[in-house]
Amino acid sequence: MKHFIFGYGSLICPQSRSVTAPTLKSIAEPVIINHIERIWSARVLKGNSLILDKNREHIRGWTPMGIRKRQGASCNGVLIHVDDEELERFDIREEGYKRHRIDLIDVYPHCESKGCNSVTDDLVLNAVRCPECNIVFEKAHKKRSANDVDESDIAVWVYIQIEESKPNPSFPITQSYVDIIIRGCLTVSKEFARKFLQTTHGWWNDGELDGIRRNTNDEGARQHHTWVDDRQSPMYVRADSDFSIEHGDAIDRLIEEHHPHALEKRVISM
């Protein structure tokens, strides 16, 4: 069976994927999955991240990306062709998530050009760089056309968080993780990065400081927040500090186009 993973968070980034599966040979193909909504909703505990500084004692972990099924929603990401061993490696990496099968009928090739909304458009399918991914798109199109499709030899997988929880001061969104996702999106295009920002929810939610220590040097512990700027001292284990520091201002300008309110409330975590 041919296995494909739909990457919608850090797996969009080639450098991040290669840390887990350096044997990957296929090019990841940009795609759109219908009826899936991306939202900050997963959990990583302190022991699985780089939260070591005493000024971060109030932080128990952080909140990575999650998804949920929602009729009418859509989510951009990449389709990654993997072998059995690579699939097992990603299963280990995605601790706290469970792998689910995606219905082929909801899988579309990503397209930015005008007039290419139809998946039958030759310009779209001819632009696909991953030969194996064309098999997915062709079967998906046949299935949408009400034709019988043999899916026994192909599976598109997605990792869905086991528990859904909103970010908060104890489990914030970390900028070092956001930067990795944006980096991956920009390898496709700036419009692809904008699409990611437009279709990602949960950057900010109101809440209280209950149970959060105030006698700390970390400014983030003394105010409500759901997002921390940790570029100088990343919490994310696959962060790239050099990239974040060099491109941080440009990434922030891109984020500000879509989430200025949440960005304004982001706090510095030393």
DSSP structure string for 189-204: -HHHHHHHHHTEE-S-
* Domains in the chain, number: 1
Give CA angle at 254 (250, 259), nearest 5°.
135
pLDDT tens, per residue, the chain with 270 residues: 999 999 999 999 999 999 999 999 878 999 999 999 999 999 988 655 555 554 566 788 899 999 999 999 999 999 999 999 999 999 999 999 999 999 999 999 998 765 555 444 454 556 677 888 999 999 999 999 887 888 899 999 999 999 999 999 889 999 999 999 999 999 999 999 999 999 999 998 765 444 444 444 444 444 567 999 999 989 999 999 999 999 999 999 999 999 999 999 999 875
Report the relative pairing of strands 200-201 and 29-40 from DSSP bridges.
parallel
Whole-model pTM over 0.85 = yes
CATH number of the domain to which 229 belongs: 3.10.490.10
39 burial (CB, 10 Å; 0-12 / 13-18 / 19+) is: buried
Q: How many C-alpha atoms does 257 have within 13 Å on its Cβ side? A: 13
Rounded distance between C-alpha atoms, residue 43 and residue 270, angstroms: 21
SS3 content of the chain, % helix, strand, coil (to 5): 35, 25, 40
Q: What is the dihedral of CA 85, 100, 185, 138, to 10 degrees?
A: 90
Domain containing 91 equals 2-268
